[in-house]
Every structure is written in structure tokens, then in C-alpha cells.
Amino acid sequence: MHPSGSSTDEVGIIAAHLLSQDDTSVHNKAKYVLNGPEDITGKQIVDMIEKHIGAPVKDVSYKDVSFIDMLYEYQYSTTKQSKNVIYSIQRAPETAWEGKCSTSTTSKE
């Protein structure tokens, strides 16, 4: 937990610490598993943003994966990459949407 007692800034603090090092090359291609202190919903994230900016957030679109269409069109359509494989990314977040992901660490990494 952050010394101030707030755990909401931990990821930013870790990122700032890593990026402020004189030599960041030791982190190239490194993997870091960061878990929050609690599960959070998209609505809770929007609420935090609204509180931080002091204004309502309008036109929130949850579960929007339409960017995959643009990604395929502009980056992969002219390659030999499988359209089915690229579009399978649209199904990737379903586990989280179904509530099957949690902050519990399942890996010993």
C-alpha cells in the first residue's frame, strides 16, 4: 500500500518509478503482475474519473470492442494474417465481463 494509505495510485507509482530510472533497459520485455486491492467495475472506474475531474462523463460505452474492426482493416487486412484469429480478440474480454476474473493471484510469478 502507498505510504499515504491510498492503494488507488499504486500502478501509477510503480510505472513512474520504473520510467524515472536512468537505465530502463532492464525492464525491456519484462512482465509485472499487478493486482489491485479489490475488484472494480467499469461503472466504479467512471465514478472515480468523474470525482477526479469534477464533471460527469457522458456517452460511456461498456464492452465496446469495435476497435478490432479498425485494427484489422488498417493493420492486418493486407497481410496474410488470419482474419478469424484477429477477430477472436473480440471474445477475449468475455471472461472478465462474466465476473470470472478477480484480483486474486493465480500465478506464482
Distance between CA atoms of residues 57 and 47, nearest Å: 8
Please give the single-letter amino acid code of residue 103: T
> Does one domain contain both 22 and 51?
yes
Q: pTM for the whole thing?
A: 0.45
Whether residues 31 and 79 share a domain: the answer is: no
Structural domain containing residue 81:
63-95
Cell numbers for 45, please give them: 472506474
pLDDT along the chain (109 residues), means of 10: 51 82 85 70 88 91 87 87 85 84 65
Q: Is there a single domain that holds both residue 1 and residue 47? A: yes
Three cell numbers at 43? 461503472
Give a yes or no: residue 104 inside a domain.
Answer: no
| Pair 53, 7 in one domain | yes
